[in-house]
Every structure is written in structure tokens, then in C-alpha cells.
Amino acid sequence: MGALDNPALTVALALLVGAGAQVLGRQTRLPGIVILLVSGVLLGPAGADVVRPASLGDGLELLVGFAVAVILFDGGLNLDIARLRESNRALRRLVTIGALVTAALATVAARVCMGWTWELAALFGALVIVTGPTVISPLVRRLRIEPDTAALLEGEGVLIDPIGALTAFVALEIVLAPDLRHGLLSFSRLGLGLSLGGLLGLACGAGLAWIGRARWLRTDGLERAVTLATVLFLFQGANALVPESGIAAVTVAGIAVRHLHEREHDALREFKEQLTILMIGMLFVLLAASVNPRDVQQLGARGLLTVAALIVIVRPLCVLASTWGTRVDARARVFMAWIGPRGIVAAAVASLFAVRLGESGIAGGEELRALVFLVITATVVTAGLTGGLVARALKLDRARDDGWLILGAHELARCLAHELARDGQRVVLLDRNERDSRRAAAEGFTVIRGNALAQRTLERAAVDTRLGAVALTRSDELNLLFASRCRQRGRLSRLVIARGERDAGVTNDMLEDTGCSVLGGQSFSVPWWVEQLRRGDASVRWWTTIDARGVTGALAPGDAAHQHFVPLLLRRGSTLTPVTGAATLRAGDELALLVNHECLGVVRARMRELGLDERATVQANASYSTVTSACADV
């Protein structure tokens, strides 16, 4: 036995290659799963022969089971049922009628195009029922599909996995059954598996949510380890009671945790995302390495014709049958009809089927696995390369760089928002304060109430479509944490926060690590300026740079900066952005300052020294003051 036949080394190599392939996919903007599949084949026994799945023996099936449990639990955590309320009828039909249509038509396609027996064709039809969150979720995020269509596609991917996997295993039992009676008994397992798995998952999810609420059980992050252990036990325990019911159990458990305890969901999500990335990478590399490329090549034109039938005929008819008579928009139907990539569950189950069929002496198992992997590759590549074009043609993609997200709805936040809105930029405010939120809404702004750090709130704010975010709370730590979440979830590059005293908890190193800039390039007191605006003792005034003599950071008159003015916005040409310490004034630039009226004379003198000329802004400031006064009693 060579060194490369070591099972531990095989798993470690698969993890490393899987992580590297996904990094490469992110950098090249190519579908990550395609790179994973190619990597597995190139490094597997048919290529460089450094990743050897055979060394795992029966452990491969165990490893696949544990990894699938984590992946599907994560899929359940990510499923937003609230967003699906308008299209829940379509979702129910997609995972029932749509599944039947797909299974039946795919069976016919395999029978006609491949020339297989009805039994083998039926196994293929059952296997390709599933789309999958491992492919769909990254795709719709990258393409920035409008929320309702994205939620419907993700909902289908999450819920169809357990249904499709159980259906496939029932089909396998029927094919392997010695007589008709045993075959018919297998049908009862489908309903029993879904029912038992759903009940166990709901109970387990409720228990995990209760643990998350019980402070005496929360121990320095150990609840995440407890959750992971519980999910793995749930998966194997359900399978022990009814084979293959564990898939349904962990999916329902994930959904339950998300909707019964949002705080626990947010904490788990970050932990599970990284673990899921590792599991997906490892599984695809191992499963792809177990496929012989010659088996795929031997499919020839028959295989390509079968895949084409799935994409061009089967998927559109599935969507049409499922959404007919529902509220789903016609454009969304067309997009969904084109997007139906298969993922990890299809790959994992196909590999297990190849082994089971081979052990039973039934021919065609390797060919079945090869065709399923061809379907995965073709559907992922098609969706990844053409999905953006189709979404843009149908006008289903969300706008990019669409305005600003501001944390806070108090007077200072609304003051900044009004200036941005006058420039034609869209502004969305986040706040939990009822009074401030009502006033901001009365002034015409879109206001989202809720925990600004929660994933659900950031999704409602469409953080991934924004040009940038500004955090204006009185807590420096909260401002920094919000900016960090916006960078993680929305990949925003323009992050600006208000910072109080320099010796507070947020250091310059923290700002640099997060990629944040300080509003105005200086420290100032948010509560003090909010109070000044509330009393009408401060307003925004504009200056034009005639002769630039310094950077914006030099504008502040010493230690009294927070009592005189705060640089808010800089207009250069047609671009208006918040002022940060990195901005340098040039001739022709326009600068908006929030000015304390008592210090207006001092500020004007300072601006003249720096080569700035005040422009008429009385009308603009009056309009804001009028609106603020009108809302005083709201």
C-alpha cells in the first residue's frame, strides 16, 4: 500500500483541493462546482492519481452522509420562508407536481436517448429531480436576482433535496426488489421517511432554538458545537429508524432554527458557512475523482442529447406545470425554466447507486453515474455562463451601486440622507427606534426597523446592491461591526462610520482591517450633533473650493472640532460621496459642512483661510428645517 492510499491523506487532500478550487472560482468568476469537478477528475485515479477515493472503502459513504447533513442543515438555515409567502403555492407545486413531471419526462428522455431499460431510466429520472442550494444560492447571489424569484429558486432547491433523495432511494429499492410485493412496499417508505424526518427535524429544531434562548446553556460559543453534534446525530438517528429519512430531518431542523430563534440562526450561519464550503469542496473532489472520464466520453451524442432534453424540454415543462395559475410573474417563469442546475445531492446519491447496482450484479451503474455527472456539469455551466444574460434580458437583476445604506434614523442621519437624496441618490435607513423611524418615514425615506446586524435585516435592505454604507450610531463598536457585516454580506467597498473619542474601543488598526473610513476624517460626538439639529442650532452649508490648500482632515479647528463643524459630503464633478480623511480638496470641489450656528463666523473665517467660498444654501436648509419641524409631533 502506497503513501497515497492513506485514507486520512485522501480526505486532507480533498479538503485542500476543494478549498483552493473554490478560491479560484471566486477569483475567476467561473462556477466553482465546475472547477471542483475538473479538479477531482484531473487529480483522481484517471488523472494524476493523487486523490484516491477507493482508499476510503466503506468510509466514503459515511463521510458523504455526514457532509450532506451539514450542507442540507445549512440550506434550511438560509431558507427565508417569510419571503416565500406570496409564492408558497408555486413552491408547493414545484416540489410535488414539478418533481413528478421532471421524474417522468427525464425517465422517458433516458429511455429514448440512451436506450436504457425502463428500470435504469427510472433511476436516472429520480436522481435528476433535485436542484440544490449548493449551486442555486451562490448563483442567485452572484447574479443579484430580484428577491422573490431568488427566494423561490432557493426554496425549491432546499425542499426538493430531501424529496428527490428519498424518491431516488425508493426507486432503487423497487429496482432491486425480488418481487412486485416488496417493490410496492417500498412506496410506503417515501411517505414514512418524509413524515418521520419532518417531525424529528421540527422537534430537534425547536430544541436547538430553546437551547439558544436558555442563557444557562449558552457557554462561550459551545452551543454551535452542540448544534453540529445534534445535527449529525439527528441525521444518523433518523436514518436508523427509516433509511434515508435523515435528509428530510436535517433540512426541516435548519428551517425551524432560523424561524424560531433568529439570534441563534445568525450565530450559526457564520460558523456553518465556512464548514459548508469545506464539505462541498471535499465531496465534489472525492466524488468527481471516483468517476472515470472514459465512462463520460462513451456516453457520446446519446448523453449530450439527454442533457439537452433536460435543459430545453424537461425543465421548462416542469416550471410551466408548477406555476400555471399562480402569481409568479411571466418573466420569473422564463428565468426559472432556464435555471435548473443540479448539485451535491444528485452527485452523492448517484455515486452510492453505482456501488449498490454493482454489488447487486445489475449493469449500468457506472454509466448512470457518468450521465448524472454530465448533467451536473452541463446544467451548472449553462446557468453560470448564461444566467446573467438571461436575467438582464428579462430585467430580473437588481441594480448595482444603488444608493446608500445608513445605520440610524435620527436627526443627523436624516440630515445626511436629505443631502444625498437631493443629489438623486437612493437612501435606505436602518433603525430600531420607533420615533426616529416614524419621522424618517414621514419625510419620505425607506426605513427598515430591526436588528441591523441580523442577516434577515440586511437582506431586506438589499445590502448587496448598495453603493456604500454609513454607520451613525453613538456606539463606535456597533458602527464598526455594522460596517464589517456590510462588507461580508454585500461586499461593499465604501464603508464610512462615525467615530467618537479617539481613545475609545475602535482603533485605527481596526478601521484598517475592516476597510472603513471615518466620516469627516475626524472624531465627533453623534449625540451632541443630533441634539443641535433637534433644537435647530445646526444646519448643512455648502462651500466651493476656489484655491485648495489642504486635505479635508485639516479643516477641523483643533480640539474644538466637534463644537464647530463636521465635513459631511464632497462633490467632485457629478459625484457626491461622504467625506473621509483620505479625500483631498481640489479647485472646483464642493464641500458640505454640518455647522454649529454659534460658531458660524469662526467657520466662515476658517474656510476663507483654506480657499473655500460659501455658496447660497439657505433654501435647501430651510426645506429640511421645515420638514423636521412638521414632523416634531409625529
Cell numbers placing 54: 477507493
Condensed to tens digits (0 to 9), the pLDDT of residues 442-453 reads 998 989 888 888
CA–CA gap between residue 10 and residue 284 (Å, rounded)? 13
Burial of 525 (0-12, 13-18, 19+ CB in 10 A): middle
Q: Is 480 in contact with 499 (CB distance < 8 Å)?
A: no
> What pLDDT is attached to residue 411?
94
Average pLDDT of the chain to the nearest whole number: 82
Residue 29: alpha-carbon gap to chain centroid: 16
Contacts of 508 (CB under 8 A, 6+ apart): none
Q: How confident is the model at residue 264 (pLDDT cuts 50, 70, 90)?
A: low
More confident residue, 579 or 176: 579
> What pLDDT is attached to residue 23?
85
Please tell me the pTM assigned to this model. Answer: 0.73
> What pLDDT is attached to residue 469?
92
Choose among 502, 519, 531, 609: nearest CA to 567.
Answer: 519
Domains of the chain: 3-394 (1.20.1530.20), 404-630 (3.40.50.720)
Condensed to tens digits (0 to 9), the pLDDT of residues 24-67 reads 887 777 777 788 888 988 998 888 888 888 888 878 888 888 88
Strand-pairing partners, residue 570, are 577, 591
Locate cell 482508499: which residue? 55
CA–CA gap between residue 205 and residue 272 (Å, rounded)? 15
Q: How confident is the model at residue 621 (pLDDT cuts 50, 70, 90)?
A: very low
Condensed to tens digits (0 to 9), the pLDDT of residues 504-542 reads 677 777 887 888 888 888 888 899 999 999 999 999 999
> What pLDDT is attached to residue 98?
93
CA–CA gap between residue 170 and residue 164 (Å, rounded)? 10
Cα atoms found within 13 Å of the Cα of residue 629, Cβ hemisphere only: 8
Condensed to tens digits (0 to 9), the pLDDT of residues 383-411 reads 888 988 999 899 888 777 778 999 999 99
> What pLDDT is attached to residue 630?
33
Residue 559: alpha-carbon gap to chain centroid: 44
Q: Is 513 in contact with 535 (CB distance < 8 Å)?
A: no
- Amino acid in the structure at residue 589: D
Residue 228: alpha-carbon gap to chain centroid: 20
- State the virtual CA torsion across 100, 104, 109, 115 in degrees, nearest 10: 140
Q: What average pLDDT does this structure show over 144-165?
A: 84
- Region of 548 (left: φ > 0; alpha: ψ -120 to 50; beta: rest) is beta
Contacts of 291 (CB under 8 A, 6+ apart): 40, 41, 44, 46, 369, 370, 373
CA–CA gap between residue 472 and residue 384 (Å, rounded)? 38
